[in-house]
Chain A
Amino acid sequence: EIVMTQSPATLSVSPGERATLSCRASQSVSRNLAWYQQKPGQAPRLLIYGASTRATGIPARFSGSGSGTEFTLTISSLQSEDFAVYYCQQYKNWPPVTFGQGTKLEIK
């Protein structure tokens, strides 16, 4: 099973600033990586797939990069609605599909 490790667990950033979230895979997943945003009481929302392709309707301030074992989600200028928990998910080797433990992005 591929283990996904996200860092940091909590990230405090001020609105308007840039946020950088990391995700590391225990073995290469090529570019088979997705990012999701989850707000309290809501379902996850797909942001990025294929490591860097934005899903339909996702603002351009969200960008993904990386390949192999190291991945980054960058939010270029934080808006109030971006404060949430973010999960990465690999789909290279499955079952099982595996998610990271999440990064909580909070207002500084």
Chain B
Amino acid sequence: QITLKESGPTLVKPTQTLTLTCTFSGFSLSTGGVGVGWARQPPGKALEWLALIYWDDDKRYSPSLKARLTITKDTSKNQVVLTMTNMDPVDTATFFCAQFFGGYYPFWGQGTLVTLSS
């Protein structure tokens, strides 16, 4: 059974750096073709893809957010970490991590709501 779960702060101040952890089970990030990605969804709005890390440590970022994002993995802990710098109130959203395979996302975490407030 594949599961993913996001963890991190629920409240962040403007200009701070957000660090989110995705802890997963049921698959390995050392398996060829597998990746873990992040997406976000502002309240009432559509999904926005953020970043992806592959089994071989190849990383891909949304061009519009690339300067603010860093994605890393700890294969031994089955974790993927996303950092987003210089947070702004418009970054208020639910952040999801998801398993990547073949271009799409078969399994998703439940999501974590991150709110920006001073």
Contacts and interface: CB of A to CB of B under 8 A. Distances in A.
Interface of A: 1, 32, 34, 36, 42-46, 49, 55-56, 87, 89, 91-92, 94-102
Contact of A46 (B48, B104, B111): B104
B67 interface: no
Q: How large is the interface on B (under 10, 10 to 19, 20 to 34, 35 or more residues)?
A: 20 to 34
22 contacts: A1-B63, A34-B103, A43-B108, A43-B109, A43-B111, A44-B96, A45-B108, A46-B105, A49-B104, A87-B47, A91-B103, A91-B104, A92-B103, A95-B49, A95-B61, A96-B62, A96-B63, A97-B37, A97-B49, A99-B49, A102-B46, A102-B47
A99 B104 contact: no
A94 B52 CA distance: 11
A74 B103 CA distance: 22
Contacts of B47: 36, 44, 87, 89, 99, 102
A29 to B, nearest CB: 10
B105 A44 contact: yes
A96 B106 contact: no
B81 to A, nearest CB: 19
B31 interface: no
B113 to A, nearest CB: 10
Chain A interface main SS type: loop
Given A43-B111, A44-B96, A96-B62, A34 B46 contact: no
A4 to B, nearest CB: 9
B110 interface: yes
B61 A46 contact: no
Contacts of A100: 46
Nearest to A29: B103
B106 A98 contact: no
Nearest to B46: A101
Contacts of B107: 46
